[in-house]
Structure 1
Amino acid sequence: MDRRLASKVALVTGGASGIGRATAIAFARSGASVAIADADMAGAQETASYIEGHCDARASAIAVDVADAESVRAMVRSTVEQFGRLDMAFNNAGVHDRAASLHVSTQENWDRVMSVNLEGVWHCMRAQLDHMLMTGKGAIVNNASRSGLVGVPSDGVYGAAKHGVVGLTKAAAIEFASKGIRVNAVCPGLVETALTRARFGDELAARAKLANLLGRMAQPEEIADAVVWLCSDSASFVVGVALPVDGGATAR
């Protein structure tokens, strides 16, 4: 059994479902204690219960609104109070763009996407860095997107936010690497989650065949494995990358 993260503490935002849930479970299976933070407290508690029942690891559910700075600070305080430390964080919480085109996007849509997908990552990194700078070590992974690396017409506002996440990641990596904190990002392509199925409906299967070089969607666990690796000592010399986990979509 892989226990490379034994005695470590991980924090996952958006851990109630999808990529966040898969990553929380992957952290736990690697030996880490895990704080699962989400606005969906019932879903976060279900993830925590699964971990404690199946992964031989400690877990806790924490309610958070990543768009609110004080809520985020309270999330990190709660993590440290419950587990004694914070070694790794996956800033994954996000929402989808409700507009098919930036031309028809509303101010409400812009504000919603930016406040969660970009400003939320900024809030999380600041609060996590407060603790990690005191201990002199840590690993942070931000969830960007293929849309944070290339232009995707149907994701104009979402892509702008995710490009911002990549920029924040690189700037933080440069600033904090010398202080023992590695900051990286993952950039998933099309991933099979409940949100993806709800967004694309009957078009999803056709999209998956055309989305990348492998002709299929990723499973959340495939993204989770990349996050765990980036947080582990196996990636000790990896810093400031925006890692595509997209089946080769950005290679062409």
Structure 2
Amino acid sequence: MRHGQRLAGKVAIVTGIGSGIGQTCALMFAREGACVVGCDIDAAAARATLAIAEQEGLALSGPQSCDLTDPQDVQGLIDFTLSRHAGFDILVNAAAFAAFAWIEEMDYQSQWRKTLTGELDIVFLLCQAAWPHLKQRGGGAIINFASANAWMALEGSPALAHCAGKGGVLAMTRQLALEGGPHGIRANTISPGLVETGATREHLRRDPAFLQAALGKQMLRQRIGQPEDIGWAAVYLASDESAWVTGADFNVDGGAKAG
């Protein structure tokens, strides 16, 4: 396990710490010296991640359960952070929800609207709540997650709402970079390809043809992504190493978009 000081002295808010990319980013940021405040809608999953951090002696705390579609809960996350730190430097919007269905089968409220709320609204709400504090801090780094699906469709994947939500995150982040520039606020996206997480593992097991279709899109076809592949890109974008990087999208996808 590698530990460093690339984020020493920084405070980061990371959402979706209960599993997958959010959990990996929270732990990696703390291992790189950041003080991390994390949350997840699943309180038990958040507590499990906090327990891992405690065992490693990492600076990771949080209000545990947080519904990021509720503006009051979002403000509560900001208030929790400010009650423990003078401010914060990094915002990682890793939490997301998506429903997958073909257009003829998709329910408007429970699938389409819920996906746009769970992928787009929660990014807007937390960025809006964090904005004045980042301005007061003199700048900071916002890391949002688009997707390879913001750029391309994948055969066999009923990802209509997901494509729309992540495409929205991609476009919104460019605008955040524009508005944040005068204040030293950098905003970038990472567009992961197919990553093995708790949310994807069972589907991949049940549908090997889907896995082969995803691998066929990639230039690196030996494996699909792991959360750590995404986490290292996030560490870079949160660090001073990327001080002149904003409005960018990082395709971490085994070469899928390039192919």
Q: TM-score range by the shorter chain?
A: over 0.9
Aligned partner of 2:148 in structure 1 is 146
Describe the SS at the equivalent of 1:24.
helix
Aligned partner of 2:225 in structure 1 is 218
Residue pair 2:98, 2:161 contacting (<8 A) in 1 also: no
Provide the aligned C-alpha RMSD in A.
1.5
Residue pair 2:100, 2:160 contacting (<8 A) in 1 also: no
Equivalent residue for 1:93, pick from 92, 95, 108: 95
Residue pair 1:189, 1:218 contacting (<8 A) in 2 also: yes
- Displacement, 1:84? 2.7
- Displacement, 1:96? 2.6
Describe the SS at the equivalent of 1:251.
coil
Normalising to structure 2: TM-score of the pair?
A: 0.92
Distance 1:110 1:130 in 2: 31
- Displacement, 1:102? 2.3
Q: Which moved more, 1:13-22 or 1:63-72?
A: 63-72
Q: Which runs of 4+ in 1 moved over 6 A?
A: none
Describe the SS at the equivalent of 2:6.
coil
Structure 2 unaligned regions, length at least 5: none
Equivalent pairs counted in the alignment come to: 250
1:172-203 CA-to-partner distances (Å, cap 9, x unmatched) read: 00111120110001000000111111233332
Aligned partner of 1:194 in structure 2 is 198
Describe the SS at the equivalent of 2:103.
coil
Residue pair 1:36, 1:47 contacting (<8 A) in 2 also: no
Identity fraction in percent? 34
Please give the residue correspondences for 1:108-119 in structure 2 after superposition, counting only pairs within 5 Å.
Answer: 108-119=110-121
Distance 2:5 2:53 in 1: 14
Residue pair 1:190, 1:211 contacting (<8 A) in 2 also: no
Q: CA 1:248/1:87 → structure 2, altered by over 3 Å: closer, same or farther?
A: same
Describe the SS at the equivalent of 1:35.
strand
- Displacement, 1:95? 1.4
Distance 1:218 1:127 in 2: 31
Aligned partner of 1:237 in structure 2 is 244
Distance 1:178 1:51 in 2: 36
Distance 2:94 2:74 in 1: 13
Normalising to structure 1: TM-score of the pair?
A: 0.94
| Aligned AA (2:37) | A
Distance 1:227 1:142 in 2: 9
Describe the SS at the equivalent of 1:94.
coil
Q: Does 1:164 align with 2:165?
A: no
Aligned partner of 2:50 in structure 1 is 48
Distance 1:131 1:44 in 2: 25
Q: CA 1:45/1:83 → structure 2, altered by over 3 Å: closer, same or farther?
A: farther
1:209-233 CA-to-partner distances (Å, cap 9, x unmatched) read: 3241111211101101101100101
Describe the SS at the equivalent of 2:104.
coil
Aligned partner of 2:253 in structure 1 is 246
Distance 2:23 2:245 in 1: 24
| Aligned AA (2:121) | E
- Displacement, 1:245? 0.5
Residue pair 1:97, 1:113 contacting (<8 A) in 2 also: yes
